[in-house]
Chains A and B, each alone.
Chain A
Amino acid sequence: MNMEDGLSLTLGLPGRAESDKEPNMSCFKNSNNNKRSQPETNDARSESNGSSAAKEAGMDSAPAAKSQVVGWPPVRNYRKNNVQAKKTESESGMYVKVSMDGAPYLRKIDLKVYKGYSELLKALENMFKLTIGVYSERDGYKGSEYAPTYEDKDGDWMLVGDVPWEMFMVSCKRMRIMKGSEAKGLGCNV
């Protein structure tokens, strides 16, 4: 388990007197290399009852010194998303250009409007009238005609879906929908 990034993730709750079950380790599988098995943010399947700091805290935000618990405090996602979106947003929105191989002109989309990868991909499919298919950590968008990629802050071209959504939103400079065959190389582990 990778703890070197300085996040002090605790599994127990503060002041918890009774000690019951072993903490579920599956949530930390995901936090290891900043990757997740599915691009969707709200997947609770692999989470334990206890803390899931990897999910609750933004991956690259301030250290989660307080342990964060799934679903606590009990505030609906809708409300959390709205309040937090305001904090990170600028007045003008998070617009990025999207190009598609073979299309004569580019489009622009506001990343803030989408709550996660599946919404973004659905929107791209709708906008460009194509199918993108299902993302898998191992094979990328293998089998799809098209694969969405993006240029990150370092100038590298990455496959959409590899990093947590919040991290993607802040690091994506622009997007390019590549033909599936060309995107093969990007599907591998970086």
Chain B
Amino acid sequence: MIDEVEDRRNQSHYNRRVNIYKQQQQHLPLEPYTHTYTVCTADLNHFVDPTNTSMALAFDEYGRPFIILREQESKSRLRGIDAQKANIAAGVAVSRILRTSLGPKGMDKMLQSPDGDITITNDGATILEQMDVDNQIGKLMVELSRSQDYEIGDGTTGVVVMAGALLEQAEKLLERGIHPIRVAEGFEISSRIAVDHLEKIAHKFDFSATNIEPLVQTCMTTLSSKIVNRCKRSLAEIAVKSVMAVADLERKDVNLDLIKVEGKVGGKLEDTELIYGIIVDKDMSHPQMPKQIEDAKIAILTCPFEPPKPKTKHKVDIDTVEKFQTLRKQEQKYFDDMVQKCKDVGATLVICQWGFDDEANHLLMHRNLPAVRWVGGVELELIAIATGGRIVPRFQELTPEKLGKAGLVREKAFGTTKDRMLYIEHCANSKAVTVFIRGGNKMMIEETKRSIHDALCVARNLIRNNSIVYGGGAAEISCSIAVEAAADKYPGVEQYAIRAFADALDSVPMALAENSGLSPIETLSAVKAQQIKENNHCCGIDCNDTGTNDMREQNVFETLIGKQQQILLATQVVKMILKIDDVISPSEY
């Protein structure tokens, strides 16, 4: 064992340490430490691996080696500048995947899930979520995009591209020997400058319940990058109208839960419609119930049309014929009572969360009381909101006031298969709407759902805060100019980081130009020069080849909070990545 150590003595720069080790050994009694030697040699074997330079092998004051990290040899480890570089490379790799999806001419990604299902999408958050990323930093980027999705709902691709650009810039600075913390601080300062600048160039724009045109324009900007841009106008209108329908303009709040997005394959995208009411993917419980009910009074029940099942354990023993018969009568009466109660309060439609017994079903049919069963909890709530009814958990509590009202309830059949849906329209309270999407295939419907979701979020954000900035990279270029100008005022190393930040901001318009088939550097510098010369922060990249690069004329808007959030989130993640200087991961078996 010792021989082995000696053999290696001359091999490399471990020499010194091994020598020390040997010296120390000489002072030590050999016997009691045999065990430690084994461990130690194992570690020394590990030393030979050139990727692991300084390992967690330490010596106490007597020179006995001890172990800091358990199972050292089974872990791979990166430290210092290598760790940072590896992390940056991973982050950049993720952002590069998304880079081509940016903008109106961005491409889609096709993702095959572990079960073989196909998703085709342009939405950054969805791509990353389904990508099966294994790298830790990659996962951070996924989180980043997800949080943008939760917070804002749009700009999920942009935020990742931005973070990737910042990381690329940071790498260059690190190579020049600037400490990562200083870089991080510089980025922090510049993100603040950029956010303040955005505030300055933002426009308030007016809209009201009657004038929704500006909102539609903004939603169209969002939709133009998706596959649905063929009918972006009509979809944008649908999104804005539905948001306006549920919006609380005084509190400036929108509860997106009130908007249900439902899809069905078949038909074409143009058939997508907004329904002031609810669609439920269910049909009447009995095939012979009426398919259309006008002025429906709806009882919304969460109790099954079945004999009660008390939660306490009990037994009803039948030991005589009389008991058997009374029980039977009771059972019949029970069903009868349930239906009668619904009838008594004046309900003309029963919507129930649970199932019906065959007998109850027939009784309902018999008493001319149409019913729908197995309606999901979320849908039930929406129906209750829309019709102004209350969800009733027990038959005893059913009163006329608790019934919901709807002008028209109808069943509609689709296609050649037995596919029916229930429309509940003209509700008492129109504060719940449904966007009903049609499309050629499943993937199209899913992608449209995601796009509509983005558009809804944008409309909501505008109602919360009606400030907008100009899209097409105009806001980024303007920020870049502002940050660049501010950089010169900062003494110290941060100045470099701030300049780098300005360069990173340029990468978003650059990617836009690239994806649109324009020569990126030429276009960008021209636009930048124009912005400075004309002092006009509305100049952006003309992706659609319309001949003007004034985004005000092209009606390309983005929300202020969305943009601000993008910059802040991207900076935060980059800071976090820069601060990591040690990556310890268990190696593969």
Q: Do A and B come from one complex?
A: no
Residues of B within 8 A of A (CB): none
